[in-house]
Amino acid sequence: MKPVIMFITSWCPYCKQAFSFMENLKKEHPEYAKIDVKIVDEEKEPEFARQYDYYYVPTYYVDDIKVHEGVPSMDIVRQVFEKALK
């Protein structure tokens, strides 16, 4: 299983939407609950966030490879989880 990093901000409506998708997918697919998702608020951890190349949040990295940036969908979040499982 590969680690996931999710970059967010506290005020981002799309980040809140992504959290909702993540929770729903974990309920539907218990194997997703085992994935370690490190959530990084770029405003609270700017030094860490600057090490990664992205502009929009939410942004997902799987095993240090950017797999999604910007407005999420249920399907996009599912793909992130699937990449982490492989």
pLDDT beneath 50, residues of the chain: none
The overall pTM is greater than 0.85: yes
pLDDT of residue 39: 98
DSSP letters spanning 26-54: HHH-GGGGGS-EEEEETTT-HHHHTTS--
pLDDT of residue 19: 97
**Amino acid in the structure at residue 19:** F
Task: Assess contact for 20 and 73: CB atoms under 8 A.
Answer: no
Which CATH fold topology does 4-85 show?
Glutaredoxin (3.40.30)
Domain ranges of the chain: 4-85
pLDDT of residue 41: 98
Beta bridge partners of 61: 5, 66
